[in-house]
């Protein structure tokens, strides 16, 4: 037996009209993030910011991520060799508590970002930023540069907390 369709209002019952407009804005932002990222140049996350998932290193290590960044196949082997050198520190620290991991991850992310910029240029770095924001999903709103770009103040963040 089929159940009756549930309306969006019933699903989001506790939200007010203004919350719906914020939800619409969030959906539009996420859908258009590939265009906005040129204006939101992502910075390496601070080791103190443990609310945003770290996705950058996972992206650059994947073949799909490298293709999306526009890294030519002939350059992938050399780039992978660079990543193996940086992996030594990153892999060793992965079994440690998060408070010890985050500074090392931030250091390795800085090295990788600089290498991407030097080897493949600003276009590849912007695409990496896009991929990272997309991978972080709604948690990207917790990034200081995204909050600044969207001019999110503390009172305006309260309704967003339910999404992150």
Q: Which of 57, 64, 39, 33 lies closest to 113, judged by CA?
A: 57
Q: pLDDT tens, 6-36? A: 454 554 455 454 555 666 666 666 555 544 4
Whole-structure pTM value: 0.65
DSSP per-residue string spanning 39-57 = TS-PPPPPTT--SS---HH
Q: Which sign, positive or negative, has the C-alpha torsion 95, 93, 57, 106?
A: positive
| Assigned token pair, 115 | 């290498």
pLDDT at 25: 63
Percent above pLDDT 70 for the chain: 64
| Domain spans, the chain | 16-162
Q: pLDDT tens, 93-140? A: 888 888 888 888 889 999 999 999 999 999 999 999 889 888 888 878
């Amino acid at each position: 037996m089929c159940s009756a369709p549930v309306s969006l209002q019933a699903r989001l019952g506790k939200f007010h009209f203004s919350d719906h407009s914020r939800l619409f804005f969030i959906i539009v932002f996420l859908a258009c993030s590939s265009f906005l990222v040129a204006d939101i140049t992502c910075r390496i996350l601070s080791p103190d910011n443990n609310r945003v998932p770290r996705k950058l290193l996972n992206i650059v290590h994947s073949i799909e991520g490298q293709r999306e960044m526009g890294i030519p196949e002939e350059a992938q082997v050399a780039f992978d060799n660079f990543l193996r050198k940086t992996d030594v520190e990153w892999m060793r620290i992965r079994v440690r508590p998060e408070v010890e991991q985050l500074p090392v991850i931030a250091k390795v992310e800085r090295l990788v970002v600089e290498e991407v910029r030097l080897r493949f240029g600003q276009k590849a770095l912007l695409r990496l930023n896009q991929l990272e924001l997309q991978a972080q999903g709604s948690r990207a709103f917790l990034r200081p540069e995204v909050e600044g770009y969207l001019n999110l103040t503390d009172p305006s963040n309260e309704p967003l907390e339910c999404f992150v």
